[in-house]
């Protein structure tokens, strides 16, 4: 909070200090938008813990998935404005509950979750439930829920086409798909064809914060 009459000196207002202004301090406060957000925003992260994440891990896809999941948990931990729900999908199931909104995401819990995700990729059957996982997330979510699905994009192997991604266009929720791996340029080509920028590619975890920020911002409009 800037332009305060007490607190820490705001280095960006040194000219005003010399001019004798009094509101040249800054201090921490709650964001203004907290006052009009009556209900928490539901965010559902749908992560790919299929066997291919482990078997093709030489390209760093599993590490990117773990980093992305950890980053999102840290981002929303303890923030009462958001309810975070994380589910997984693999060759055995389209829905594996990993984090419920009621859980306390301390560091020990986060570590157990990440270890569990690795275990799922190692011991699951071959197969892919990406589309089914998105469908389940859309069907079970409350209106205006933000859904972020992460997949390693074995598209041709499982005959995933643009038509299969229609659930991303649901008017009930804000659904987005992020590809964190690809065979050739198939993920980029498909993501580009998905309307309304509901699918994107992220092959570098450093790009993820900007992508997530863009998705959350668009959902809040």
Quick: pLDDT tens for 79-107: 888 899 999 999 889 999 999 988 989 99
Give yes or no: residues 23 and 58 share one domain.
no
Residue 98 pLDDT: 95
**Residue 186 located in a structural domain:** yes
Q: The pTM is what? A: 0.77
Using DSSP's 3-state secondary structure scheme, residue 173 falls into coil
Q: CB within 8 A of 194, min separation 6: which ones?
A: 162, 165, 168, 177
Same domain, 143 and 179: yes
Distance CA 168, CA 73 (A): 23
In a domain, 34, yes or no: no
Q: What is the CATH number of the domain that holds 76?
A: 3.40.50.410
Residues 71 and 25 in one domain: no
Q: How confident is the model at residue 36 (pLDDT cuts 50, 70, 90)?
A: very low
- Do 12 and 117 sit in the same domain of this protein? no
Residue 57 lies in a domain: yes
- Same domain membership, residue 157 and residue 133: yes
- Asked whether residue 31 carries a pLDDT value surpassing 80, the answer given is no
Q: Which of 87-91, 155-159, 207-211 has the lowest mean pLDDT?
A: 155-159
Task: Report the b/e string of 79-96 with b at 16+ CB within 10 A.
Answer: eeebbbbbbbbbbbbbeb
The count of domains in the chain is 2
Mean pLDDT for all residues in the chain? 85
Same domain, 21 and 66: no
Whether 77 is covered by a domain: the verdict is yes
Nearest residue to 70 via CA among 211, 190, 221, 208: 208
Q: Is residue 35 situated within a structural domain? A: no
Q: 125 and 215: one domain?
A: yes
- The encoded tokens of residue 161 equal 């086409």
- 100: domain range? 40-220
pLDDT at 172 over 50: yes
pLDDT of 110 strictly over 90: yes
197 and 95 assigned to the same domain: yes
**113 or 202, which is more confident:** 113
């Amino acid at each position: 909070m800037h332009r305060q009459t007490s607190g820490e000196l705001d280095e960006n207002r040194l000219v005003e200090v010399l001019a004798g202004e009094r509101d040249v301090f800054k201090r921490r406060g709650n964001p203004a938008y907290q006052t009009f957000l009556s209900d928490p925003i539901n965010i559902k992260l749908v992560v790919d813990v299929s066997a291919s994440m482990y078997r093709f891990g030489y390209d760093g896809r599993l590490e990117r998935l773990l980093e992305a999941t950890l980053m999102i948990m840290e981002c929303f931990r303890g923030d009462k404005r958001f309810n975070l729900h994380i589910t997984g999908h693999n060759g055995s199931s389209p829905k594996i509950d990993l984090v419920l909104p009621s859980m306390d995401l301390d560091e020990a819990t986060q570590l157990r979750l990440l270890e569990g995700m690795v275990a799922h990729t190692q011991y699951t059957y071959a197969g892919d439930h990406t589309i089914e996982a998105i469908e389940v997330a859309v069907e079970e979510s409350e209106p205006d829920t933000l859904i972020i699905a992460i997949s390693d994009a074995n598209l041709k192997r499982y005959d995933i086409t643009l038509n299969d991604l229609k659930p991303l266009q649901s008017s009930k929720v804000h659904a987005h798909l992020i590809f964190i791996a690809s065979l050739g340029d198939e993920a980029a080509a498909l993501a580009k064809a998905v309307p309304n920028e509901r699918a994107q590619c992220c092959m570098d975890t450093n790009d993820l914060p900007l992508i997530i920020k863009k998705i959350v911002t668009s959902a809040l409009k």
